[in-house]
Structure formats: structure tokens, C-alpha cells
Amino acid sequence: MKKSKSKAAFSKAEVLGKPLLPVLVFVVLTAALPDRAAAQNTGGLSYQAAKAFSDAGIPVLKQPVNPIDFTLPLVGGSNQKLSDLRGKVVFLNFWATWCPPCRQEMPSMETLYRRFKDQGLELLSVNCAEKRNDVLSFMNQNKLNFPAALDTSGSVSGRYGVQALPTTYILNREGKIVLKVVGSLKWDDPKIAAAFETLLKM
């Protein structure tokens, strides 16, 4: 029996043709602040962590979601498997160098990464359908030290249903997606940083 193609998947031509829209204003999908009377670990987070993100304007997903595992090469030459990062809080960001909102938020991502990497935060930026040399040059020019993975075929972004850039997923230490943000944010905003600090203590 022939397997049907996932509706979320992009063809290689679609990805390389850059149909992904850069989004400046963020949108959080399928989100709700948990009721304090609900279970202490609602939505894959403690009440305190969920409230901290909601106070920062980023409510958590109603239910945690299992991510699609993948392995991609890093610009530095090694490979990174997503599931190998379980046990850390993972900031999974899909982006491209030609995307203005992506470029706008990356300095704040670097600040967040430097502040919390020793407390268990891992930042994995997945570049969508660009050449290694272009990505490496961009990272060096902007003094970005967090890992950058190369999704040169666009297959991983397609499997994640990424339709606009940047798109960011936050995974808790159990490896579950607990937040999804479409669009650019100032990730080093004090309220957002405080929310990550609360999440990292879980």
C-alpha cells in the first residue's frame, strides 16, 4: 500500500523556493494558562513555570507534544540528534539568513543562551534550506555561538509543519514540546528570562 504524503511536509522545490513567510509579530498557537486548581504539572510544566511564561506573554500549550526526532549536521562539522538533548531544556528555532525577523531576534537568543547554558539550556537553531558556507558566514559575522544545524533539503522543517520564519519550539527536560512561538521575540526580555529560569529549575 502506498503511504500518503503528510499534509505538513513541504516539497524540496517549495522549501528552496522560499515560500516560508518571515513573521515579525509573534503568535502562540493552541495555548492556555492552566487553572491553579488543575494538576501541579499542567501542560508539561509546573504551575509556576506556566504562569511565568504567561506573564511574559507566552502561554504554554494545553498539552505537551512529542517532538519528531531528527539528526542534522552542524555547521561545525559534527551531527546533532534532537533526542540526545533530553534532560535539558531545548530552545529549537527554525530560521533563515534571508529572514529579517530571524536576524532581529538572534542577538537576544545569544544572550539567553549565554546566560542559561550552564543551567541546562540548549539552543539548537535549524537553518532552513541554505548552504553551509552562507550559514557559517552569518554566524561568524554576528558572533553567534549557539549550535546551528543545516536542514539543507527542508525535510525537517517540513515535518514540523513550519510555514513561517522564525518558528520556535521549547522542549522541557522530559523532551516534550511545551511552547510554540511563530514570529520574532526579544528573548532576553526580563520577564521571558525569568520564565526560563523557572523552567530550568524543574
Residue 164 lies inside a defined structural domain of this protein: yes
At 44 the pLDDT is 81
Q: How many other CB atoms are found less than 10 A from the CB of residue 103?
A: 17
* 13 occurs within a structural domain: no
Say which amino acid occupies 187.
W
Distance between CA atoms of 132 and 39, rounded to whole angstroms?
45
C-beta of residue 47 within 8 angstroms of C-beta of residue 180: no
pLDDT for 143 equals 97
Q: Report yes or no on 68 lying in a domain.
A: yes
- Is 4 domain-assigned? no
Q: Are 45 and 179 in contact (CB under 8 A)?
A: no
Q: State percent of the chain over pLDDT 90.
A: 76
CATH of the domain at 70: 3.40.30.10
Percent pLDDT > 70 in the chain is 81
The answer as to whether 21 is a domain residue is no
The Cα–Cα gap between 47 and 35 comes to 8
- The amino acid sitting at 95 is W
* Residue 175 near residue 100 (C-beta atoms within 8 A): no
Regarding predicted confidence, which is higher, 26 or 186?
Answer: 186
The answer to the question of residue 40 being in a domain is yes
Quote the DSSP letter at residue 25: S
Q: Check residue 42 and give its pLDDT.
A: 56
Count how many domains the chain has: 1
Q: What is the pTM of this model?
A: 0.83
Residue 98, domain member (yes or no): yes
Q: Is residue 1 part of a domain?
A: no
What does the pLDDT look like over 65-76, one tens digit per residue? 999 999 999 999
Q: Any long-range contacts for 6-13 (C-beta under 8 Å, 24+ apart)?
A: 6/158, 6/159, 8/158, 8/159, 8/160, 8/161, 9/155, 9/158, 9/159, 10/154, 10/157, 10/158, 12/153, 12/154, 12/155
Please name which of 33, 43, 40, 8 lies closest in space to residue 177, comparing C-alpha atoms. 43
Q: Which domain holds residue 190?
A: 27-200
